[in-house]
Structure formats: structure tokens, C-alpha cells
Amino acid sequence: MAFFSKIKESLTRSREKIKEQMNVILDRGPALDDDFWEGLEEVLILADLGGQAAMDVVEDLQDKATRLALPDAYAVLDYLNDTIAEQFVEDDKDILGPAPACILFVGVNGSGKTTTVGKLAKENHDAGRTVVLGSADTFRAAAIEQLEVWSKRADVEMCARERGSDPASVCYDTIERGEAIGADLILIDTAGRLHTSTDLMRELQKVVSVVRKRSTLPVYTVIVIDATTGQNGLSQAREFNKALDLDGVIVTKLDGSAKGGIALAISKDLELPILKLGTGEGLDDLKDFDAHEYAAGLVGDYGRTASEGDEDAEAEDFEAEQTDELEDFAEEEEVDFEDEISEDVEELIEEAAEEPEAAEEPEVAEEPEPEFEPAADEDFDEDYDEDDFYEIDVEDEFEDEAEEADEADEASAEESEDDEESDDEPESEGESDGEAEEEQETWGKKLKRFFIG
């Protein structure tokens, strides 16, 4: 059961980092003085929101504080999440919306392009759309095979040429194939490249311009940014944007990052919408972006009104989750444990009943179990350590055993009388067999009572 959204969960590290710094300024007191505003701006910059976004958020909050006559820091912080959310650029073109489109994915090496293309292919195929993938990463070893794996997982077609061929030709083929089958969505994976390499960026420009000329569907270029790269992600996005005039951003690896604020820095700086968020390596770990959800996950709550209710709810959810898990665990373990014990005990009882020779062992055959003989209280105190008996009620146990031992004695006495009348078997052997059977029964009862209760 998911109590936190995957996005909120993925932003945990970023949120905790902000919380630590925010608590420092709140510890100084709730006054709305210069120290508070400067401290707040610093917290936002350190949270990777970027200088511009941090300044704009603080100015906006100062306006609200004046306009609404907010009394203190807590009242201001009630507006922090919404103010941050308002800074994100909206996706006016609805790039990943229902309209048919051809989308190129670009970015530095390892940012998550191929994985993102695969996840999107799955999501759109599941939504009933016809999707075609193009593997325009003809440079990296195994890049084509990697996308092929995703195309199979998503159950969509893929176009490729051999490694080393012209990526623009692959794009051409893919668009042609997409048109032939009436695809709603053409997703093209490109080779990762350093944003600082002029040659590689020029090559990419060529690819994008071929696609723009050839495609009859609207063409969008989307950069994939790894959230763990923080401010370097902003530099990457700037360079790619200069070269390609980007349309949108997908931020990946949010799950492993403490620099979630970078999404706002990029959106704000480049005036680009965030389209999706990568929250893991699985097929379903690509989430829609919602500015308010994101801001709440990134910052948490400090304001007077929001915080208490929300944190209480979180604590309750967490507690309920733990209780459910413990109950499930206990149920499973108990069932298995009981089954095992019952089976073991039944086997022991059966074995004991089937194998009377076991009773011929000297201590069983010759002695009627001294530890079960009734003992005087003073003897008991001297000879037994109560710890040896764990949770068994010692007195009851001894009374029971005494009764059983008495019964066993009587039974064997009767049998030996019978045996004396008959000369078929030697006296000692007959006595020993009778005792042995009684012993087995006594053991059986004892084991059954001990394990099963």
C-alpha cells in the first residue's frame, strides 16, 4: 500500500536537506526580519533551486507578507510550496499529451534517455497508442540492443541500422515506418554526448533538422537530465538548448538525488516545462509532473496551518503501514511455525509408536524417568532450577507426570502378574515390553501437550 506518492518518496533526501537548514533559521525565532528573508533565500539556493528562482520566491513571499499582513515566519511559510510551484513553466504545447508527435530525446551520457524512451513506449502502448521507436544511438556499443530490450518489454516496433551508421538515416527510416503504420507517437533515442563538445552538438543539430524537415507530425526535442548532477544539469540544459532550441525537460533519477531543486532551476532558467520525472529503473517509474505535488515533496511543510495535520497524517499512515506489515509477518510465521511443529510432533509420536526397540535403551527400559517422579517440595527446591522449565507451570507439570507415572506403575504391575501366570516369555522381557509401550504413550502425551498445548 503506497501512503506517500512515489514523487514525494523520491524527494525525501532533497526534503530532508532543506528541513535541516530551514530549522536553523526557524530556531532563531519567527520574526519577519532581514535575517529571516536572507536565510530563506540561502536555504532555497542551497536546495539547488537556482539563484533566480530563489530570489523570485522570496520577493513573491515578501509581497504576500505585506499584502496579507502575515504576522510571522510560520504564516509566510504556509505559502512557500504554492509560491515555488508557481515558478515552474507550464507545458502549453502538451508535448506528451494525446496529440500525435515525433519526439527526440537528447542529453549527456547516462542521463537516462534510453530508459525514459522505453518507459514512455510502455505507458503509451498501454494507453492504446501506436508507438514506433528509433535507435539513433549508432555510436555506443550495445545501445541498439538496449533499446531493443525496451521495445520488446513495451511491445512496440523499433527501427535501427547497424552500429556506426548515420543517425539521421535511422531517424528517416523511423519516421517513414511510423507514417506507414499510422503511428501516434514516434520516439527517437539519440547517443549521449558531452554538452561541451562542439562537434557532437553539431552532429545532433543535423539530426534534429533532418527530423524537423521530414516529419509530418509535430517534432519536439526533449532533454533528459539526471537529477543527481545538480547544477551541472543546468549547464547541460543551457548548452543543449542553445544548440537545439529544446521544447521540454525530463528529470530522471529523482529517487537517488538530494538535488531535486534542480528541476525548478532548469524550468525557470530556460523557460521550459518539466514533462515527466524518473523515479526508478522499473518500467512504471516514470511519473507525470505536477508542480504543486513536486513543491510539497521538495520542501515539506513548516507553516502553522499545513504542518500539523499533514505530519500527523503521515505519522498515522506510517504506523498503520508498519502494523499491517507486522501482522502479515506474524500471520505467515505463525502458520508456518505451527505447521512445522505439529508435523514434527506427529512424526515423533508415530515413530515412537512404531519403534518399540527404542524403549529398550537402558535409561528408558530400566528407569521410569526419575525427573517425572513426584518430588517433595523441599527436594524440588534443592534439585531443580526453575529456569530449566521456562514457561511450563512446574507444579502442574509434576502433578501430571506423577499421575502418569503412577498409572504406568500400576499397569506394569498388572502386566507382570499376567506374565507370571504364563510361562511363554521370560518374565523380564514381558515386563520390559509393557513398560516400553507405556513409556511411548507417556512421551507421546508429553510431547503433544508441550508443543500443541
Stretch that binds Mg ion, among 64-72, 112-120, 339-347, 387-395 (CB under 5 A): 112-120
Q: Check if the beta carbon of residue 104 is closer than 8 Å to that of residue 188.
A: yes
Interface residue with Mg ion, options 83, 111, 114, 151 (CB under 5 A) = 114
Can you tell me the distance from the alpha carbon of 293 to that of 277, in angstroms, rounded to the nearest whole number?
A: 12
Interface residue with ligand GTP, options 285, 404, 419, 435 (CB under 6 A) = 285
Q: How far is CA 400 from CA 371, 373, 395, 420, 448, in A?
A: 12, 10, 9, 30, 14
Q: Please report how close the Cβ of residue 147 comes to Mg ion at its closest, in angstroms.
A: 7
Q: Please report how close the Cβ of residue 194 comes to Mg ion at its closest, in angstroms.
A: 14
Q: Check if the beta carbon of residue 223 is closer than 8 Å to that of residue 249.
A: yes
Q: Check if the beta carbon of residue 143 is closer than 8 Å to that of residue 191.
A: yes
Can you tell me the distance from the alpha carbon of 31 to that of 429, in angstroms, rounded to the nearest whole number?
A: 98
Q: Please report how close the Cβ of residue 316 comes to ligand GTP at its closest, in angstroms.
A: 29
By a kind-dependent CB cut-off of 5 to 8 A, residue 119 interacts, out of ligand GTP, Mg ion, none, with none
Q: What are phi and psi of 403, to 5 degrees?
A: -60, -45
Can you tell me the distance from the alpha carbon of 42 to that of 311, in angstroms, rounded to the nearest whole number?
A: 25
Q: Check if the beta carbon of residue 110 is closer than 8 Å to that of residue 192.
A: yes
Can you tell me the distance from the alpha carbon of 212 to that of 205, in angstroms, rounded to the nearest whole number?
A: 11
By a kind-dependent CB cut-off of 5 to 8 A, residue 430 interacts, out of Mg ion, ligand GTP, none, with none
14 binds ligand GTP, rule: CB under 6 A: no
The footprint of ligand GTP on this chain (CB under 6 A) covers a number of residues equal to 21
Interface residue with ligand GTP, options 19, 140, 163, 446 (CB under 6 A) = 140
The footprint of Mg ion on this chain (CB under 5 A) covers a number of residues equal to 2
Stretch that binds ligand GTP, among 20-28, 67-75, 252-260, 387-395 (CB under 6 A): 252-260
User: Cell numbers at residue 66, please?
Assistant: 505585506
* Closer residue to ligand GTP, CB minimum distance, 15 or 113: 113
Interface residue with ligand GTP, options 15, 17, 253, 268 (CB under 6 A) = 253
113 binds ligand GTP, rule: CB under 6 A: yes
Interface residue with ligand GTP, options 39, 178, 278, 444 (CB under 6 A) = 278
Which helix (H) or strand (E) segment is 251 a member of?
Answer: strand 248-252
Reduce the DSSP state of residue 190 to 3 states and report it: strand
Q: Please report how close the Cβ of residue 222 comes to ligand GTP at its closest, in angstroms.
A: 12
* Closer residue to ligand GTP, CB minimum distance, 109 or 322: 109
Stretch that binds ligand GTP, among 24-32, 234-242, 276-284, 379-387 (CB under 6 A): 276-284
**Which of 192, 218, 214 lies closest to 204 in space, CA to CA?**
192
Stretch that binds ligand GTP, among 24-32, 49-57, 71-79, 111-119 (CB under 6 A): 111-119
In the block, which residue shows the cell 551508421? Answer: 165
Can you tell me the distance from the alpha carbon of 11 to that of 322, in angstroms, rounded to the nearest whole number?
A: 21
257 binds Mg ion, rule: CB under 5 A: no
**Where in 141-180 is the site for ligand GTP (CB under 6 A)?**
143
**Where in 191-230 is the site for ligand GTP (CB under 6 A)?**
192
Reduce the DSSP state of residue 86 to 3 states and report it: helix
**Which of 48, 85, 4, 1 lies closest to 287 in space, CA to CA?**
4
Interface residue with ligand GTP, options 15, 83, 89, 107 (CB under 6 A) = 107
User: Cell numbers at residue 373, please?
Assistant: 517422579
**Where in 256-275 is the site for ligand GTP (CB under 6 A)?**
256
Can you tell me the distance from the alpha carbon of 256 to that of 260, in angstroms, rounded to the nearest whole number?
A: 9
User: Cell numbers at residue 228, please?
Assistant: 543527481
* Closer residue to Mg ion, CB minimum distance, 65 or 136: 136
Binding site for ligand GTP (CB under 6 A): 107, 109-115, 137, 140, 143, 192, 252-253, 255-256, 278-281, 285
Binding site for Mg ion (CB under 5 A): 113-114
